[in-house]
Amino acid sequence: MDTERKHNKSRKPKLSIKYMTEDQYREALLALQNSIIGSTRVSGLVANSPCLLLAATDGRITVKQKKVAFGYQLVASLKFGRDVVGEIDASKTQESLVISHLCGTRNCIKPQHLVLESKATNDERTHCHFCLGKSKNRGQFYESGACPHEPKCGTKTISFI
């Protein structure tokens, strides 16, 4: 009996990046680069660091009319390494490693807004993102200790690319 968890649609246990050949991966990165040209900036929750969203509303990269990966997954593979991102489970448990958006903006491809952490921590961030979005004084939100995470929600990390 196969006990390995698999993605509902692809039936693969890991993200699609793991299964790409080197040529497919290079094509996907080139498509990402071309997609960034048509991307839009949105305010997001990180002060003085707007989010970057691809023109494709679902955030996915298409190569030869086939959707191959989410843009943020490709950016994460550049930031954290393809091997690391390739080991992320496609079907997640609370302990699974995920690509988390500190900005709270789904599909943001800004490398400074991405971290790797457990799904449980990522799920907790949803509360902080809600509070930050409603807050009139973000400084007070942080001073109160309301965000228990490191790095703090609504902040950015150092970019490696």
Banded model confidence at residue 48, pLDDT cuts 50, 70, 90:
confident
CB 119 within 8 A of CB 94: yes
Count of Cβ atoms closer than 10 Å to residue 3 Cβ = 4
Identity of residue 126: T
Element (H, E) at 140: helix 138-143
Q: Determine what percent of the chain is predicted with pLDDT higher than 90.
A: 58
pLDDT digits (tens, 9 = 90+) for 92-145: 889 889 999 999 999 999 999 999 999 999 999 999 999 888 887 777 777 788
Q: How many helices (H) and strands (E) does the chain have?
A: 5, 6
